[in-house]
Amino acid sequence: MATETDTHSEGGLVFHPLDQFIPKSLFGDGPIAWYSITNVTLWLAIAVACVFLLMVMGTSGRKIIPSRLQSVAELIYGFIYKMVEDVCGKEGIKYFPYIMTLFLFILFANYLALIPMSYSPTSMIAVTAILGFGVFIAVTVLGFVLNGASFLGMFWMKDAPAVLRPIIAVIEVISYFVRPVSHSIRLAGNVMAGHAVIKVFAGFAALTLVSPVAILGITAIYGLEVLVAGIQAYVFTILTCVYLKDALHPHH
Amino acid sequence: MEGELAHIGAGLAAIGSGAAAIGVGTVAGNYLAGALRNPAAAASQTATLFIGLAFAEALGIFAFLVALLLMFAV
Amino acid sequence: MATETHEATAGACVDAGGSAIGMPQLCADWMPNQVFWLLVTLVAIYFILSRVALPRIASVLSERTGTITNDLGAAEELKERAAEAEGAYDKALADARAEAQAIVAKTKEDIQADLDVELQKADAEIAARTAQSEKAIAEIRDNAMSSVADVAKETAADLVVALGGKADKKAINAAVKARIGGAS
């Protein structure tokens, strides 16, 4: 709670890099209940609308020679389909719609968050934790359903020296349970860090002396964030595929 | 006093971002070196590259998170 | 902080100035809202994708693959047909060439045969004429030879008479014969 006093005593140069992540109720000022329509809801809805526009309206022509939107939609489809097929094998194709859902949601949420004054749902740890732990729980349940108790063999390295096996097993179990944490915090952290850094630079832009540098910095970081937004969606998706592969083929 | 210590801790945690940068650079550099030696195999390893980058970067993000927690949540 | 916000009122995450106290990400009051709307979003996207978009794109892609395969097949067929046509053309060309060569050869043969016949005829004629000429020449020579002997005998007889001798026909004949030789 140290910042509470610090930020207000600074006077001219005020940093509130995290204020952009405050959810605000769109209708009424009351406390935010679980059903309130907030700016989170708005930008999530816009993401759904964009997915709908791209994947449904874009492909409504069903043309053999695709229009621009249709070829973008087909490109994304082919990209994710190939990723699932390459990483998980033929058995993974069943789960392709779920992975596609994750990818498109994260991609659009990340890119929409780059619009100035917008809200970035993927920077909220609650949101990414649902995504990450959702993948974790789904993959674990799937692993036990498909492989039974032999799913636990994933932690027992048969080709390691016998002395090291229990130690490796402990490490493997820990790393298995760290997966959802790193999986979700990676996404939230990247998005949050980028947006917060932009806000910090924007705070420096208030000083006339350094404002050109600050604005150049904002531009550069924005470019980096455009890259990061795509890469993080890709990374989240491919890691989901990798975890799914572990559930489908636990013995490699 | 506690607040100042938290800020110092946040600054120390931010060093972790530099460490992650070293990791990311190592991954990308080694990928590039390998890709230039054997360009034919490069395309098949981009997924591995990104996974490696993601793991290296995640630890930097953890450091950043610790810094943020110290700054704003402690 | 987490324990603080649990008991605090709804505005506990925002200070009087409207800025966040601590990280907005960690404010438990706001989490149910985000989680709820996230789940709604994910379900919505999942249904949009699995019910409409993905089957449609899959069908378009497979249709395109089918079309491309068909087109490739048609192209292959056309190519085969073109190759066939080319073969037929080549064959026709070769036939025509062979025929032309045969005609040329036949014509040459005919000409050669005619020529041979003519040559033989000409040769025979020449041989016949030569033989005739030789015969004529021999006749002429024989005639000339006998004439020479007669003239010599007469001249010899005249000479003998003019010299005052008596022309002994037998002697003169023998002398002339001896002089001229066995020419006649």
d(CA C26, CA C13): 9
For A13, the token pair is 């140069």
Closest CA to A42 of A106, A119, A129: A119
pLDDT score for C96: 94
pLDDT score for B58: 83
d(CA A133, CA A153): 22
Helices (H), chain A: 2-9, 39-52, 68-88, 96-113, 125-147, 165-204, 211-248
Cβ separation of C24 and A59 shorter than 8 Å? no
Residues 13-72 (B) with a CB less than 8 A from some CB of C: 68-69, 72
Q: What chains are in contact with C, requiring at least 3 Cβ pairs below 8 Å?
A: A, B
pLDDT score for B74: 67
Q: How far is A117 from chain C (nearest CA, A)?
A: 16
Average the pLDDT over C44-65 and give the result. Answer: 90
pLDDT-derived band at A250 (thresholds 50, 70, 90) equals confident
pLDDT score for A13: 64
Q: How far is B23 from chain C (nearest CA, A)?
A: 27
pLDDT-derived band at A12 (thresholds 50, 70, 90) equals low
Window from A116-120, A222-226, C19-23 with minimum mean pLDDT: C19-23
Measured CB to CB, residues of chain C less than 8 Å from chain B are 1, 20, 22-23, 26
Contacts of B72 in chain C (CB under 8 A): 20, 22-23
Number of domains in chain B: 1
Cβ separation of C33 and A123 shorter than 8 Å? no
Cβ separation of C1 and B73 shorter than 8 Å? yes
Dump pLDDT digits (tens) for A121-166: 898 888 999 999 999 999 999 999 988 888 888 888 778 788 888 8
Average the pLDDT over B32-40 and give the result. Answer: 92
Dump pLDDT digits (tens) for A79-120: 999 999 988 888 889 999 999 999 999 999 999 999 988 888
Q: How far is C97 from chain A (nearest CA, A)?
A: 49
Q: How far is CA C121 from CA C75, C114, C117, C133, in A?
A: 67, 10, 6, 18
pLDDT score for A200: 86
pLDDT at C20 over 80: no
pLDDT score for A31: 74
For residue B69, the domain's CATH number is 1.20.20.10
For C19, the token pair is 């800025």
Contacts of B47 in chain A (CB under 8 A): 83, 86-87, 238
- Triad C72, C76, C80: Cα angle to 5°: 170
Domain boundaries, chain C: 2-180
Cβ separation of B68 and C23 shorter than 8 Å? yes
Q: Pick B50's closest partner by Cβ from A6, A190, A238.
A: A238
Inter-chain Cβ pairs, chain A and chain C, closer than 8 A: 148
Average the pLDDT over C179-184 and give the result. Answer: 60
Rounded CA Rg of chain C: 67
Residues above pLDDT 90, as percent of chain A: 37
Nearest-by-CA chain B residue for A84: B47
